[in-house]
Amino acid sequence: MQRRTFLLGAATSAGLLATGCSSNTESAEGPSVVRFMVWDVGPEGLAAYRTVIDGFNVSSGGITVEIETVNNNDYNNLLRTRLSGGEGPDVYGVRPQLIPSLIQGEYLEPLGDRAFFRSLRPDAQSNAPYQVVDGKAYVAPLIQSVQGYIWNEEILAEAGVEAPFRNFDDFMVGLEKIKRASYTPLAMSAKDNFFPQFIIYPATAQLVDPVDPQFNAGINDGSRSFAANPQWMTVLENYEQMVPYFMPDPLGTGADAAQAAFLRGEVGIFPQAGLLAQARESGLELGFGSFEFTDSPSPDTWGGYDIVLGINPGNGRSAQAAEFLDYLYSDEVYPQFLTQVRGFPVQEGVDVSEVDRLYADMQASVDGKNIYPSPSDLWLPGIQDVFLTQVQDLTAGRTTPAAVLEAMDQAAAAARDSQ
Amino acid sequence: MAVLSASPPRQRPDSPRGRRSRKASGLFWVAIAPAMLLFGIFTVFPMAQVVRYSFFNFDGFTGVARFVGLRNYGRAFTDPLLAEATRHTVVYAFFFIVVQVVLALLVAVLLSRRIRFVGAYRAVFFVPIVISPVAVAFTWSFLLDPNTGAVNTVLRRLGLGGLAQDWLGDYTLALYSVIAVDIWESIGFSIVLLLAGLTTIPQEVNEAAKIDGAGFWSGLRHITLPLLRPTLGLVVVLAVNGSLRAFDTVYLMTQGGPGTASELYMTVTFNQAFVSNRFGYAAALSMFVLIALVGIAYLQDRLNTADSEVKG
């Protein structure tokens, strides 16, 4: 009796649990629902995706796409949890540093034969070092990113500064002049430790990567060292020189506060072109330039892609997912989508110069250049975290570039040890 | 003192009382089975997994795990960042346990007296508890902005500009700023518990003490504190528990920075798991906290038992 009642209770509980857990399976959704997950793209970005999805859902003949956005900080963890739990999306935004483990876990399928992938520019099919693994491309870029700085024309004119700057020395002279005109020269701060990357990675793309394109891979396999790399030392020394021109109290000032100060017209230069639309709305007269850390204009630039997409083969809906991406990258839809998100194309012949009068210059800043991605996208997990912490210490003057590089080597060794 | 029997009186299994007892026992198991199953799946199983993975190098995603024995535990004793974070956690615990409880006690004693607008004062102290911790952290981050934050702005307008600080960006201040916000957020709960405890102290005892010439401090020391001991014990245990698990305010306000100036034990554990993908090491670090929390639960149980015996 006792045993029977216990089993009865357990069976009832199991039944209740099973009922509660089974609501989101493929059979409940049907094979025609394609789940699309991407990190927070902002209200305008989301509206652009929704426009594409609405158009596709009407014309697809039974396939329905559902989009879900997840906040940036939680995206990687949520994606990994869902994928490993069998509840992953069918199409999703891929952060480059996750690609090796996503391929290893068979959560990405090769895209080389897909029509939408073949519509990309050749460089967009294989330019980024993380894109092609063992001869197969697993991710497709959607939006080319253009990195650079925007400046407040009024402030620079008042300070007697001519921009864009031809090289790093020119840039430093400009910052000093803006400071003397009683303005904060550079809307940069370090409380949000991701923010300084916007002035460090343009330098690594021009100084480190062209000299040794395999440097980051070498860090991961132990054949290279940060401390033994003179270009990395130069990058951090350049950073140190820029610190006096940051926002006041840079370690207690968040990126949002720096951005707000630029939008209020209190700062000369903002180190990220992505603020252009908001700055226009604030009524600022603006210019655009790309960072130059070499003596003469560099053929290299930091960039990559704002959004990179992959298809999860695990749900059995790859064909439907590819059909959606064929639609998104089609000649009729893709240009409109880019205009709406104010992005730059990864296909030939798409003109976005109408979006803003600076877009032609911005497009020109990447056309024909060697584009290098963020090095942290290529490092083993754990290195970037130490790097960002060390950069805060460097900003505070509590450490030296040499000590930062040594700490990064130690972090790389620890990361290799954990593999 | 009442003596409780450890086991019910023995009954003959085939007697009517024995059958009723077995039936009741069966119903008992049926009743608790759902809860036990949920507890097993969502608490016991994950904890067992944490124990297991603490002996592995495991990235938490690919399923590839390499057995490393006690290496993750050994590493915890040689990790300089963890040592620094542990020191910060001790400082945090001191303020969160000692300073917060003393402040809460004083406020609770004051609020328990018959003063005007006491209801409004209670509400003021209680309000932070009902605000989302995320909202609290973001709001205080704005308030503590060194250039545009309300705290420094008010100080400057009062002519106290010398006291204006880079609250979250100064290496020596950041940890204390976060602790202050955490105390502001949680002190209301301690006050509510202590106020509830104070209402259980018979009014006649306080009045008798006054007649005997006891002043405020004397009454507090000889009447209030001894009679408030069970509640104080609970408040302290909750504060210890909270300080060991402290994470959200630091993570949202400083991310452990500037540099590593406000890293706590749990922020390091989180980063090891979710930033560096070292789930095995993070599991080992979690085990230390788990052991500490079990110890605290044991002490709390002992405290409750001792109090029950005194009352019995």
**Mean pLDDT of chain B, nearest integer:** 88
Instruction: Look up the pTM and report it.
Output: 0.84
Q: Which band of pLDDT confidence, cut at 50, 70 and 90, is reported for residue A1?
A: very low
Q: Is B255 an interface residue toward A (CB < 8 Å)?
A: yes
Test the B interface: residue of A1, A3, A4, A5 with most B CBs within 10 Å: A5
Cβ separation A418–B257 shorter than 8 A: no
For residue A276, the number of C-alpha atoms closer than 13 Å in the C-beta half-sphere is: 21
Nearest CB to B61: which of A12, A101, A247? A101
Do the chains contact at B257 and A191, CB–CB below 8 Å?
A: yes
Contacts of A252 in chain B (CB under 8 A): 144-146, 166-170, 258
- Residue with more model confidence, A311 or B274: A311
Best interface-test mutation with A: which of B14, B22, B53, B145 has the largest number of A CBs within 10 A?
Answer: B145
pLDDT (average), residues B67-71: 95
B42 touches chain A (CB under 8 A): no
Give the pLDDT confidence score for residue B212 in this predicted structure. Answer: 84
Range scoring the smallest mean pLDDT among A99-113, A309-323, B209-223, B238-252? B209-223
- State whether residue B59 sits within 8 Å of chain A by CB: yes
B146–A248 C-beta distance less than 8 A: yes
Q: Which of B22, B166, B274 sits opposite A2 (nearest CB)?
A: B22
Range of weakest confidence among A128-132, A347-351, B41-45, B164-168: A128-132
In chain A, residues with a C-beta closer than 8 Å to the C-beta of B254 are 191
pLDDT in tens, A9-20: 444 444 444 444
Q: Return mean pLDDT, chain A.
A: 90
Q: Cβ–Cβ of B166/A17 closer than 8 Å?
A: no
- Give pLDDT tens digits for A332-371: 999 999 999 999 999 988 988 888 999 999 998 888 888 8
- Chain B residues whose beta carbon lies within 8 Å of the beta carbon of residue A248: 146-147
Residue B88 has pLDDT above 80, yes or no: yes
Q: How confident is the model at residue B191 (pLDDT cuts 50, 70, 90)?
A: very high
Among the listed residues A226, A198, A197, the one whose alpha carbon sits nearest the alpha carbon of residue A212: A226
Between A131 and B289, residue with greater pLDDT: B289
pLDDT surpasses 70 at A290: yes
Band the pLDDT of B181: cuts 50, 70, 90.
Answer: very high
The pLDDT > 70 percentage for chain A reads 92
Provide the pLDDT confidence category of residue B36 given band limits of 50, 70 and 90. very high
Q: Please state, for a pLDDT cut of 90, what percent of chain B lies above it.
A: 59
User: For the residues B34-54, what does the mean pLDDT come to?
Assistant: 94
Closest CB from A4, A13, A105 relative to B37: A13
Lowest mean pLDDT: which of A203-212, B109-118, B181-190, B261-270?
Answer: B109-118
Q: Which residues from A are below 8 Å from B33, CB to CB?
A: 6, 9-10, 12-13
Tell me whether residues A6 and B62 touch, CB distance under 8 A: no
Q: Which residue has the higher pLDDT, B308 or B24?
A: B24
Helix (H), strand (E), coil (C) string for chain A: CHHHHHHHHHHHHHHHHHHHHCCCCHHHHCCCEEEEEEECCHHHHHHHHHHHHHHHHHHCCCCEEEEEEECHHHHHHHHHHHHHCCCCCCEEECCHHHHHHHHHCCCCCCCCCCHHHHCCCHHHHHCCCCCEECCEECCEEEEECCCCEEEEHHHHHHHCCCCCCCCHHHHHHHHHHHHHCCCEEECCCCCCCCCCHHHHHHHHHHHCCCCCCCHHHHHHHCCCCCCCCHHHHHHHHHHHHHHHHCCCCCCCCCHHHHHHHHHCCCEEEECCHHHHHHHHHCCCCEEEECCCCCCCCCCEEECCEEEEEEECHHHCCHHHHHHHHHHHCCCCCHHHHHHHHCCECCCCCCCCCCCCCCHHHHHHCCCCCEEECCHHHCCCCCHHHHHHHHHHHHHCCCCCHHHHHHHHHHHHHHHHHCC
pLDDT over 90, % of chain A: 74
Residue of B nearest to A98 (CA): B61
Q: What is the pLDDT, as a whole number, of residue A129?
A: 65
Q: Residue A80 and residue B60: Cβ atoms within 8 Å? A: yes
pLDDT surpasses 60 at A226:
yes
Which residue among A249, A385, A398 places its CB closest to the CB of B276? A385
Chain A to chain B, count of Cβ pairs less than 8 Å apart? 132
Q: Any residues with CB less than 8 A from the CB of A254 and at least 6 apart, and which?
A: A189, A191, A192, B141, B145
Query: Which of A6, A381, A390 is closest, CB to CB, to B275?
Result: A381
Give me the mean pLDDT over the B32-52 stretch. 93
For an interface test with A, give the residue of B255, B260, B274 to mutate (most A CBs within 10 A).
B255
Per-residue confidence at A27, pLDDT binned at 50, 70, 90?
A: very low
User: Which of the four pLDDT bands, split at 50, 70 and 90, describes residue B299?
Assistant: confident
Nearest CB to B259; choose among A14, A398, A419 = A398
| B188-247 residues touching A, CB cutoff 8 A | none
Contact B258/A385, CB-based, under 8 Å?
no
In a 13 Å sphere around the CA of B269, the CA atoms on its Cβ side amount to: 22
Tell me the chain A residues in contact with residue B161 when contact means C-beta distances shorter than 8 Å.
none
pLDDT for the residue A297: 86
Lowest mean pLDDT among A312-316, B206-210, B241-245, B279-283: B206-210
How many angstroms separate the CA of residue A107 from the nearest CA in chain B? 10
CA of B282 to nearest chain A CA: how many angstroms apart?
12
Sorting pLDDT into bands at 50, 70 and 90, what band is B2?
A: very low
Asked if A257's CB is within 8 angstroms of B145's CB, the reply is yes
Strands A91-93 and A33-39, by their bridges, are parallel
Does the pLDDT at position B85 exceed 90? yes
Q: Which residue has the higher pLDDT, A270 or A303?
A: A270
Q: Determine the average pLDDT of the residues in B264-275.
A: 94
**Residue B274 touches chain A, beta carbons under 8 Å:** yes
Report residue B19's pLDDT band, with 50, 70 and 90 as the boundaries.
confident
pLDDT of residue B14: 65
Please state, in angstroms and rounded to a whole number, the distance separating the CA atoms of residues A416 and A410.
10
What is d(CA A90, CA A67) in angstroms, rounded to the nearest whole number?
A: 10
CB-based contact A2 B27, cutoff 8 Å:
no
Site from B27, B29, B57, B143 to mutate, A interface, most A CB atoms within 10 angstroms: B29
B-interface mutation test, from A8, A73, A76, A191, most B Cβ less than 10 A away = A191
CB atoms B257 and A385 under 8 Å: no
